[in-house]
Amino acid sequence: MVDDEEMVRKGLTRLVELSGSSFVVAGEASNGTEGIELAEAVNPELMIIDVKMPGMNGLEMIDRIQASHPGIKFIVLSGYTDFEYTRHALKCGAIDYFKKPINRTELTELLLKAELELDDERAARQEKERLRELTADLSEMKQNLFKELITGSQLSPEKIEKKLAALKIATDLSSTCLSFIIRVERLPFLEKKPRIRTVPLQKEFNDLCTSLRLNFQVEFFFGFAPLLTGFIFFRQPPEPIVKELVLTLNDLIITGRETGSILTVGLGNVASSVLAIRQSFIEARQALKVSFYRGKGRIYTFSDTKQYPRIDYQLLLENRKPLLDKIVVQLISRDEASVLAAEGALWEDLENKEFMPEDICKFAKSLIEYLTWNLKRNGYQIRLDMEIMGKELSSSDTLHDLKAMVKFYLTHLSREISNLQTNGERKVVELAKEFIFANYAGDLSLEIVADHIHMNSSYFSVLFKKETGENFIDFVTRIRIEKAKELLHDYNLKIYELCRRVGYYSPKHFSRLFKELVGLTPLEYRNKIR
């Protein structure tokens, strides 16, 4: 209840109680701002508001509330002079209005009207939800049936026929059928382009069939993402329908290319009945495998398939271990260019030959596993999820993708080693600096520090300059002079005593270095800070 007059609000509250409606007054507000706050706090089904109020009027309040709570209904209260406001309120979504002074009968009728509207909306929402759940249940039941058919579950013909009828699939056991599989191909490895998901793909296929006026029953199965399996049932001779299907699938492939996706199709043979659909599915899956060597974005039929010879991937790995050991050395030496150049040699004897794709994928997986193991043996704890790596390589759609992923993992290993070495070098330099800070007063040569951290002195010299930006001797000199500046505050300490405390035995040499760095002699500096 929103009105700037308290008496009006109390009167309305009393009339609502006497109306016999199911409405209960949940709160009151005296202006538009309070009305918005009330709507936020209570979220009522209905609000009775005065159109004309000081500050924010009823129309503004309706606009603001509807933006965040579109389900709230409004009845507006207006004076005889507020008709333009009232008409605008009705346009904004108010269900009705009544004029002041308040009439009990009129208000009761309006509340009844609001009740009916709200009841109708609830019923519509419930029906929509029921239909959604029913559709979802039917879809799930269909999926379960097709899963049983293609996995070879022992369903009796009678049960299959009953399920087909119950699920409103317009076919029977005597109908011929065909299976096809659409694979939503991954784009070139790590290429960031949009993918078509299987549900939009199904819609696109159905739209194509409609536009081409093709009349065949199609059902889809989503059990093996990113694969979309289609089943076609037909009572008439299948040959012309299969031709139409191929043309439709070609159009779908073209549409996919236009959106940046690559689709590959495997097409099984026509099965003599629904009971034989599993064989057609297996043939479609075999046809899809042809793309491993022949490439993406095409339709492959079962007649395109061949028996690929098996190959001993472990023997292939064994023959390439000398090359892999060389690659390990190149990785440790941070010679990424040589690593990638050597990658091509890993595929020797496999070019222009077609072996079982699964064996080639296992071979690629074993390459990365061996390299990772060898690097760990050399002290490099590589961060690599072997399970994910294995899945990525084993599920390669084409030989081209497989090679691309092997290159990716070689690059990953190279970057990991570089990071480990960089972090290790930084740690070594930090240890050297700690040793210098602790021993600056003693005999501190490059060789002594290098020996302390178990490193070749020449390499340590280069590494120290790289990490600190200073030569070793310049760094030590600067530390000693900074310590000398601190000791010069002790006026009882003689210069020759001081220079020994910071690692110098010649006061003359110390004084010269001090002046070079500070611009003053030690005595001049002491006099300055007194």
Q: What is the pLDDT of residue 170?
A: 62
Alpha helices per DSSP H over 333-356: 336-343
Which CATH number describes the domain made up of 424-529?
Answer: 1.10.10.60
Topology classification of domain 157-304: Alpha-Beta Plaits (3.30.70)
Q: What is the pLDDT of residue 135?
A: 57
395 band by pLDDT with thresholds 50, 70 and 90: confident
Selected from 3.40.50.2300, 3.30.1600.10, 3.30.360.10, 3.40.50.300, the CATH number assigned to the domain covering 6-121 reads 3.40.50.2300
Compute CA 194 distance to the chain's CA centroid, rounded to the nearest angstrom.
12
Q: What is the pLDDT of residue 362?
A: 94
Q: What is the pLDDT of residue 195?
A: 39
pLDDT of 187 higher than 60 = no
Domain-wise residue ranges, the chain: 6-121, 157-304, 313-410, 424-529
pLDDT, one tens digit per residue, over 468-488 is: 889 999 999 999 999 999 999
Q: What is the pLDDT of residue 222?
A: 62
82 band by pLDDT with thresholds 50, 70 and 90: low
pTM higher than 0.85 for the full model? Answer: no
Q: For residue 243, give both structure tokens.
A: 């031709």
Alpha helices per DSSP H over 167-230: 198-211
pLDDT, one tens digit per residue, over 402-451 is: 999 999 999 889 888 888 878 887 888 888 999 999 999 988 899 999 88
pLDDT of 190 higher than 70 = no
Q: How large a percentage of the chain has pLDDT more than 70? A: 87
What is the rounded CA–CA span in Å between residue 34 and residue 137? 46
The more confidently predicted of residues 85 and 313 is 313
241 band by pLDDT with thresholds 50, 70 and 90: confident
Element (H, E) at 221: strand 217-221
The more confidently predicted of residues 402 and 188 is 402
The more confidently predicted of residues 188 and 252 is 252
214 band by pLDDT with thresholds 50, 70 and 90: low
Which of 60-64, 121-125, 513-517 has the highest mean predicted lDDT (pLDDT)? 513-517
Residues 393 and 405: beta-carbon distance below 8 Å? yes
pLDDT of 91 higher than 70 = no
Closest CA to 526 of 497, 492, 502: 492
pLDDT of 42 higher than 90 = no
